[in-house]
């Protein structure tokens, strides 16, 4: 249509799709073109959550929601006032995709299939007339005077950048060339490698409520810990990695973690819990009677670590052995040497400097008519659906072209 607004969206992931759909909805006469450099759309959505897609988190207060972002939470709070988690739920449900909430607050499609989300987004793009161009990398983006851009030689009035996180600064150099400052990207959401540690023999074991701190820092998180064949993972570890992303990168991923395996910080409380259980367990073998919620296999591992004889009866345990056991439960230390990131689902800390973007509109303060959405910004959330929520929110707000 002659004179209609022409909008380019760069990136065919969650943020890019939502930005394109928002632009098409808010500007019905606009011609919206989505550029995706690969042959696949929404690839991260497809594989996320083990193929189930953790769409968002059951946290329907922008203020509370914003506290789950180690970087960008304060700025994102403004955008969440426009489009938050409850809006995400309503958006998908109004399009026939029902979501369910799991015990930890994560929300998934009731189908337990990410394909349901992918299909919904692709269907909506088709319905709104969004032109999708696969295998179309951006080779050139030039702002024009008095306004607009050329992108690969084609003129556009507005451009929304939703290219996702880049593992290296070079991947963001084209935005630097436009005048934007970049925070060096480093991985966020990674697991801890513990080469040579015998704890890895317990791969697959989940300890339900551990308190994990990184020695020499203020970093501490509580939650489940999963033992893997390379070290430790699970919500507590992933949250630590997110909040400590930059600091741990500076340490070269070499540090010590101190683990309280039972989540009770007070030593007197732990001793008291053992004393309270004594009438029931005093004649039982220590290996067969754990007073705490720990997997049996893991309890046996901790007994060996504390040098407590597994076949001894509780009543025969001396004070010294009990104290050593309590100390192992509360202050178990492991050396971390390296990390493992989820290559397909990687999340980065870093990207476009937040002060250069107006979060009420997601428009660049440096280049008029240029907008940002998703992980290309220095915004990242902890595990649990928060990164997708940031993508839906920033995409929706950017697409209004305010």
Report how far apart, in Å, the C-alpha atoms of 338 and of each of 178, 191, 193, 247 are: 35, 9, 5, 13
* CB-CB contact of 172 with 182 (8 Å): yes
- Per residue in 34-78, pLDDT (tens digit) is 999 999 999 999 999 899 999 999 999 999 999 999 999 999 999
Report how far residue 283's alpha carbon sits from residue 134's, in angstroms, rounded to the nearest whole number.
Answer: 69
Topology adopted by domain 6-187+345-399: FAD/NAD(P)-binding domain (3.50.50)
Report how far residue 393's alpha carbon sits from residue 48's, in angstroms, rounded to the nearest whole number.
Answer: 18
User: Does 106 score more than 80 pLDDT?
Assistant: yes
pLDDT at position 1, please?
Answer: 39
User: Does 2 score more than 60 pLDDT?
Assistant: no
- Per residue in 175-228, pLDDT (tens digit) is 999 999 999 999 999 999 999 999 999 999 999 999 999 999 999 999 999 999
pLDDT at position 344, please?
Answer: 58
Query: Residue 268 burial by CB count (10 A; 0-12/13-18/19+): exposed, middle or buried?
Result: exposed
What's the farthest any 2 CA atoms get from each other in the chain? 89
State what percent of residues in the chain have pLDDT above 70. 98
- Per residue in 219-234, pLDDT (tens digit) is 999 999 999 999 999 9
Q: List Cβ neighbours of 390 (8 Å cut-off, separation of 6 or more).
A: 15, 69, 72, 76, 374, 375, 379, 380, 381
User: Does 3 score more than 70 pLDDT?
Assistant: no
CB under 8 Å, gap of 24 or more: what pairs does 263-271 form? 263/209, 263/210, 263/211, 263/222, 264/330, 265/211, 265/330, 267/326, 267/330, 270/326, 270/329, 270/330, 271/322, 271/326
What average pLDDT score do residues 261-271 get?
94
pLDDT at position 341, please?
Answer: 84
265: confidence class by pLDDT, cuts 50, 70, 90 = confident
Could you state, in order of their start, the residue ranges of all structural domains in the chain? 6-187+345-399, 190-341
- Per residue in 304-345, pLDDT (tens digit) is 999 999 999 999 999 999 999 999 999 999 999 999 986 656
Please provide the average confidence, as pLDDT, over all residues in the chain.
Answer: 96
State what percent of residues in the chain have pLDDT above 90. 96
- Per residue in 377-402, pLDDT (tens digit) is 999 999 999 999 999 999 999 999 99
Its pTM stands at 0.93
Report how far apart, in Å, the C-alpha atoms of 58 and of each of 22, 106, 224, 362, 384 are: 23, 6, 19, 24, 10
What average pLDDT score do residues 91-119 get?
98
């Amino acid at each position: 249509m002659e004179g209609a607004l022409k909008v380019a969206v760069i990136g065919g992931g969650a943020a890019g799709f939502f930005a394109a759909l928002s632009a098409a909805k808010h500007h019905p006469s606009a011609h919206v073109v989505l550029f995706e450099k690969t042959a696949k759309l929404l690839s991260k959505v497809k594989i996320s959550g083990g193929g189930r897609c953790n769409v968002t988190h059951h946290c329907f207060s922008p203020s509370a929601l914003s506290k789950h972002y180690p970087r960008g939470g304060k700025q994102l709070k403004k955008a969440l006032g426009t489009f938050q988690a409850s809006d995400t739920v309503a958006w998908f449900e109004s399009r026939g995709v029902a979501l369910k909430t799991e015990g930890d607050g994560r929300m998934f499609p009731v189908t337990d299939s990410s394909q349901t989300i992918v299909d919904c987004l692709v269907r909506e793009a088709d319905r709104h007339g969004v032109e999708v161009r696969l295998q179309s990398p951006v080779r050139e983006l030039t702002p024009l005077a008095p306004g607009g851009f050329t992108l690969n030689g084609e003129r556009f009035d507005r451009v929304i950048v939703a290219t996702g996180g880049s593992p290296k600064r070079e991947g963001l150099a084209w935005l630097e060339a436009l005048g934007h400052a970049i925070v060096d990207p480093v991985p966020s959401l990674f697991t801890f490698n513990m080469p040579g540690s015998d704890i890895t023999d317990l791969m697959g074991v989940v300890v339900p409520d551990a308190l994990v701190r990184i020695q020499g820092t203020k970093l501490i998180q509580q939650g489940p810990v999963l033992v893997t064949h390379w070290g430790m993972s699970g919500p507590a570890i992933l949250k630590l990695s997110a909040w400590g992303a930059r600091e741990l990168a500076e340490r070269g991923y070499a540090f010590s973690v101190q683990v309280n395996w039972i989540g009770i910080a007070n030593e007197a409380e732990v001793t008291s819990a053992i004393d309270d259980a004594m009438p029931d367990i005093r004649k039982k073998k220590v290996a067969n009677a754990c007073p705490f919620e720990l997997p049996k296999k893991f309890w046996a591992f901790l007994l060996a670590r504390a040098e407590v004889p597994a076949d001894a009866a509780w009543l025969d345990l001396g004070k010294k052995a009990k104290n050593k056991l309590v100390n192992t439960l509360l202050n178990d230390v492991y050396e971390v040497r390296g990390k493992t990131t989820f290559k397909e689902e990687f999340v980065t800390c870093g990207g476009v400097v937040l002060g250069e973007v107006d979060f009420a509109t997601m428009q660049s303060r440096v280049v008029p008519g240029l907008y940002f959405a998703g992980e290309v910004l220095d915004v990242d959330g902890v595990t649990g659906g928060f990164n997708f929520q940031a993508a839906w929110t920033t995409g929706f707000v950017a697409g209004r072209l305010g």
